[in-house]
Structure 1
Amino acid sequence: MPSPLSSLRSRLARAGDFGRKTSPILRRVPPMHVLLELAARVGYGARGFVYLSVGVLTLLAAADLIGDAVGPKGAIAWMALRPFGRLWLLLLGLGLAAFVMWRLLQAVFDADHEGTGRQGLNTRMSQGFSAMGYGFLAFNTFGLLVHTPSDPAATDITKSHEQAATVLSLPFGHWLLAGAGLCILGIGIANISRSWREDFTQYLACSPKTCRWVAPLARAGYLARGLAYLPLGTLVVLAGLRPAASEVTSFGSALDAVERQPAGPWILALAALGFIAFGTFSFIEARFRRIRPPRDLNPLT
């Protein structure tokens, strides 16, 4: 017996076929799987643009050519203050929304055919958390269209303090905040682990020669992203254990804390190069990744 989602998809497909037969305009619209593939590739490109921007700005910060290092939200806010900033925000927000849609297709409807085994479900759960993270980033990007603060970095830290204070005011709030920090540490460790154990070329439709130089980019990118989460997660855990909301900071401020350590600028420069590698790999995924939109919207297949 077909699932309700499958039945709904069949009805929508029949409606689309009928519309194409009766309307010259609709006949020009590509099939749904083509549109979904295009949206996924645009999404990977948007992710690449964000991390490439983070890497370049962090590298400039390490060289003391600009003020502070930034995370993804900081890089987007920085672009918002540039000429044509609102246009960039609109395009980037739409691209990130497309990436969230693709992540949901991967996580819920198994677009990558990971299956329902232990490893497959772990991968799909990771893709689901990724959808949540990029969903918040897309929401923040659209929010900047309404109001762009004059000092985005300070505003980001203030919001972090307020959110931490709200959590600490809840019953067992200090444990909840420490748990959130452990989750951030877990994300960092998962990225580090993924950087050396995963075959990043298995989803790419590129030549063996191209894949040989693509894989190191992916490993460097995931390693840098994972290491960047560790200081932020540590600060959040300490804020929960002490407890002190003022110790919760932003992604960019955590990178600044790394820069203040011995050999910090060099470490920050290496992290920046890793972010640039991750952004570059995302652009490569936008071009070469195998995109297979699910034909059957059934979460259990």
Structure 2
Amino acid sequence: MTPSVTRKAQRAGRQAAGHDLFHLLSRAGLVTHGVIYLLIGWLALQIGLGRGRAEADKKGALQTVVDNPGGTVMLWLLVVGFAGMVLWRCSEALYGEPVPDGHKPAKRLTALARAAIYTALFVSVLRYATGHGGKGSDEQSKSFTSEAMAEPGGRWLVLAVGLGFLAHGIVGVVSAVRHEFLEELRTSQMNPKVRTAVKVLGVIGTSARGLVFAGVGVFIAHAALAFDAGKAKGLDGTLRELADTPAGPWLLVAVATGLVLYGAYNFCEARWRKVEAVRS
């Protein structure tokens, strides 16, 4: 590909990423993300209160959507929303994030990693919508761990994945406590009361999500160290383990409430998040 063709392709990509329709699709993706976490938090809350048996993960959330009136339509809207998330994260990887130092390689690599994660989520939701079902988070975690550890050096790959989840969770909690997420929002468009409310939702919600991701990482790393795939857990299993701590089900209720608040925070992101690509 010649330099002129490359420049034209980059210019066309920037124009597409800067279009109002693209921004709308990006915000729709944030709404989708919020819906999923609201449902996961609600399902976990029901488990903590002894009222539910559904899996508190993406599969359980999608099944909850399907089981309600208009569920099929809602499910396809979620597919479109996750497609928006993928495109948005890809644009950030290509052109940078509209935050301080958002154009730097580290930020772009992070966006690329998130794009890969949301691509996997998009594919799984699409499969669910087309009737191909899907595995629960625990089954997926155990299956990945078992298959990976059967390969040479796979045990260390699983350990690296577990440590990656753990690090991601810890970074999420630290970022929440330091209010770094506010850099991604148009706080100047909020009045003082709204800004305070959004900050509270962001701190509690992002911290709860970070703690759960860290927990998933601990279980995956433990499975690698013990060389036992059965010890790996996904989102649902990690949340259920919280009910077996000395704090009892109330720790699960607290974290589940935090996940619900994180879903609500995603709706705030859909309203005030900076989604425009960085201009060169």
- TM-score above 0.5: yes
Tell me, yes or no, if the aligned pair for 2:40 and 2:260 is still in contact at 8 Å: yes
Unpaired runs of at least 5, structure 1: 17-30, 296-300
Residue 200 and residue 183 in structure 1: after superposition, are their counterparts in 2 closer, same or farther (change >3 A)?
Answer: closer
Tell me, yes or no, if the aligned pair for 1:68 and 1:256 is still in contact at 8 Å: no
Tell me, yes or no, if the aligned pair for 2:57 and 2:137 is still in contact at 8 Å: no
Tell me, yes or no, if the aligned pair for 2:138 and 2:235 is still in contact at 8 Å: no
- Corresponding residue for residue 180 of structure 1: 161
Tell me, yes or no, if the aligned pair for 2:18 and 2:276 is still in contact at 8 Å: no
Could you list the per-position Cα deviations for residues 99-129 of structure 1 after superposition, in whole angstroms to 9, with x for gaps in the alignment? 1111111222114154477xx4433333222
Name the aligned partner's letter for residue 57 of structure 2. G
Q: TM-score, normalised by structure 1?
A: 0.82
Name the aligned partner's letter for residue 142 of structure 2. H
Residue 60 and residue 106 in structure 1: after superposition, are their counterparts in 2 closer, same or farther (change >3 A)?
Answer: same
Name the aligned partner's letter for residue 53 of structure 1. L
Q: Distance in 2 between matches of 1:278 and 1:55?
A: 9
Name the aligned partner's letter for residue 170 of structure 2. I
Count of aligned positions: 276
Bigger Rg, which one: 1
Q: Does 1:170 align with 2:151?
A: yes
Tell me, yes or no, if the aligned pair for 2:138 and 2:236 is still in contact at 8 Å: no
Name the aligned partner's letter for residue 146 of structure 2. A
1:249-260 matches, within 5 Å, as 249-260=233-244
Q: Does 1:91 align with 2:91?
A: no
Tell me, yes or no, if the aligned pair for 1:51 and 1:275 is still in contact at 8 Å: yes
Residue 74 of structure 1: CA displacement?
3.0
Unpaired runs of at least 5, structure 2: none
- Corresponding residue for residue 48 of structure 2: 62
SS in 2 for 1:200: helix
Name the aligned partner's letter for residue 6 of structure 1. R
- Corresponding residue for residue 270 of structure 2: 286
2:121 aligned to 133, 137, 146, which one? Answer: 137
- Corresponding residue for residue 21 of structure 1: none
Q: Distance in 1 between matches of 2:204 and 2:197?
A: 12
SS in 2 for 1:291: coil
- Corresponding residue for residue 160 of structure 1: 141
Tell me, yes or no, if the aligned pair for 2:138 and 2:234 is still in contact at 8 Å: yes
Residue 69 and residue 62 in structure 1: after superposition, are their counterparts in 2 closer, same or farther (change >3 A)?
Answer: farther
Q: What percent of counterpart residues are identical? A: 25
Residue 35 of structure 1: CA displacement?
1.0
Residue 201 and residue 178 in structure 1: after superposition, are their counterparts in 2 closer, same or farther (change >3 A)?
Answer: closer
- Corresponding residue for residue 190 of structure 1: 171
- Corresponding residue for residue 7 of structure 2: 6
- Corresponding residue for residue 207 of structure 1: 190
Residue 176 and residue 39 in structure 1: after superposition, are their counterparts in 2 closer, same or farther (change >3 A)?
Answer: same
Residue 225 of structure 1: CA displacement?
0.4
Q: Distance in 2 between matches of 1:290 and 1:13?
A: 16
Residue 116 and residue 270 in structure 1: after superposition, are their counterparts in 2 closer, same or farther (change >3 A)?
Answer: closer
Tell me, yes or no, if the aligned pair for 1:73 and 1:140 is still in contact at 8 Å: no
Could you list the per-position Cα deviations for residues 235-277 of structure 1 after superposition, in whole angstroms to 9, with x for gaps in the alignment? 1111111211122222111111111222231111111121111
Tell me, yes or no, if the aligned pair for 2:175 and 2:181 is still in contact at 8 Å: no
